[in-house]
């Protein structure tokens, strides 16, 4: 018998600060340890907001983050 797996749903009030922190240079893996969510979740939120992440990450200016919107279904 298979079990249905439903990933945790995080509110946008939680996701948006994570995306902003990544945009300003924080590592998704470090944030995941600090805030208790999986780093791949943070990466997918960043992809949805077109915010780069990873070792060759470019730090985004604040003007880039104005109007960043995260769909609540992500």
Domain boundaries, the chain: 10-48
4-39 pLDDT per residue, tens: 766 668 999 999 999 999 998 899 999 999 999 999
31-47 pLDDT per residue, tens: 999 999 999 999 999 99
Report how far Cα 40 is from the mean position of its chain's Cα atoms. Answer: 8
The pTM assigned to this predicted structure is 0.68
- Cβ atoms of 31 and 21 within 8 Å: the answer is yes
């Amino acid at each position: 018998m298979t079990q249905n797996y439903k990933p945790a749903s995080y509110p946008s009030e939680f996701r948006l600060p994570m995306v902003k922190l990544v945009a300003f240079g924080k590592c998704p893996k470090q944030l995941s340890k600090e805030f208790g969510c999986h780093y791949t979740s943070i990466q997918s939120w960043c992809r949805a907001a077109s915010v780069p992440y990873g070792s060759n990450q470019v730090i985004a200016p604040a003007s880039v983050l104005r109007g960043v919107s995260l769909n609540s279904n992500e």
